[in-house]
Amino acid sequence: MAFLADALKRVKPSATITITQKARDLKAQGKDVISLSVGEPDFDTPDNIKEAAIAAIRRGETKYTPVSGIPQLREAITRKLKRENGLDYKPSQTIVSTGGKHVIYNALLATLNPGDEVICVSPYWVSYPEMVALCGGTATFAETKIENEFKLQPEELERAITPKTKWVILNSPSNPSGAAYSHAEMKKLTDVLMRHPHVWVLTDDMYEHLVYGDFKFVTPAQVEPGLYERTLTMNGVSKSYAMTGWRIGYAAGPQHLMNAMDLVQGQQTSGTSAISQWAAVEALDGTQEHIPVFRKAFERRRDLVVSMLNQTRGLVCPKPEGAFYVYPDCSALIGKKLPNGKTIETDEDLVMGLLEDQAVAAVHGSSFGLGPNFRISYATSDEKLEEACRRIQRFCAELR
């Protein structure tokens, strides 16, 4: 009898974590590695949030919390959703979990049965299909194209829906492509979903505040109120507030779904860190003055990276509206030879060659379900980005 669960056979390790660890190993050997593989802001958590956490510790807020979160944070979430997204929820319709990934996993575990399908939009965040598999469902895919700026077209969504579809996961702005949907673009997708009342929407809004130029963020239930009763709106404090290590994700949705997610979480982790929750109250209710500062820096970095990559032999890099990633096409480099003589057969060969030859860590696009591309995170300093792009230019120029 096998000891390990069969479910593990359906799950691949995270390519992002694998590449990042390889970069750490090379750095430990003394190599000057520039890691562009991690989706983590390089900014520190704002001081007002840190002070709120310290104050909570001094008040003795160090005990177990309710499974779905402290009342003060759940109330802050409802205020945020009303203020910024025009969505009305009661505190009982919210949940606080240990990061956005935990929210999504709870929702899938609470709703999926064998044979249920979940549509993931390619390129997708690496964890979506793996979480679907762990929860006993089947991931299906709706592919995007570079000529549509990696945005899902309504006819592709329509084609992907079957009688077995239970969820579609929408992520705007997107990890890995940075693509974000305007009100008109989102409305075309919600119009499709209104024709299929058995399909629920799980919207990952984690990069909501990181949009550039005149772009205005929208979320599905805001665009189409008719979807309110079958939408789970997920968000968190990791990216917009530089709080990745605090591990706070949250969501709001129909009461019966939230009750089910509370039941799952109650037997899984119970409530998340009390200190982190009090910090998140300040993040949502306190000053938002750091967000324009973050946004301006990321926009400048995006423009730098897009410009330099588009001056690189064999790369085509669209300019995304949000998040802090670019997703250049590298199809012109497939078939060329690395400096060590090995032929580049896949985008994974390319990023591994780039890491070994120029000590720049990126993540291959095939791990996000769409290649040949690779993902670069520009959530690091301008100086490092400029040097990394020079190395990428040098690497691509030397391929034969």
Give the whole-angstrom CA distance, residue 314 versus residue 312. Answer: 6
Give the whole-angstrom CA distance, residue 276 versus residue 251. Answer: 16
Q: Which residue has the tokens 């291959």?
A: 364
HSE, side-chain direction, 13 A CA sphere, residue 19 = 32
pLDDT band at 103 (very low <50, low <70, confident <90, very high): very high
Using DSSP bridges, classify how beta strands 231-236 and 249-252 pair: parallel, antiparallel or unpaired: antiparallel
The pLDDT tens digits for 149-204 are 999 999 999 999 999 999 999 999 999 999 999 999 999 999 999 999 999 999 99
Predicted pLDDT of residue 362: 96
Share of the chain above pLDDT 90, in %: 91
The pLDDT tens digits for 110-144 are 999 999 999 999 999 999 999 999 999 999 999 99
CB of 265 within 8 A of CB of 67? Answer: yes
Domains of the chain: 6-44+290-398 (3.90.1150.10), 61-285 (3.40.640.10)
Residue 15 above 90 pLDDT? no
pTM of the full structure: 0.95
Can you tell me the mean pLDDT for 276-293? 98
Judged by phi (left if over 0) then psi (alpha if -120 to 50, else beta), residue 369 lies in left
CB of 176 within 8 A of CB of 123? Answer: yes
Residue 354 above 80 pLDDT? yes
Amino acid at 199: V
Alpha helices in 164-237, H assignment, sequence order: 183-194, 220-223
Residue 386 above 80 pLDDT? yes
Q: How far is CA 43 from the centre of its chain?
A: 18
Whole-angstrom CA distances from 334 to 57, 74, 341, 349 are: 54, 49, 14, 9
**DSSP structure class, residue 380:** S
Amino acid at 217: F
Give the whole-angstrom CA distance, residue 168 versus residue 111. Answer: 13
The pLDDT tens digits for 51-102 are 999 999 999 999 999 999 999 999 999 999 999 999 999 999 999 999 999 9
Predicted pLDDT of residue 282: 98
pLDDT band at 11 (very low <50, low <70, confident <90, very high): confident
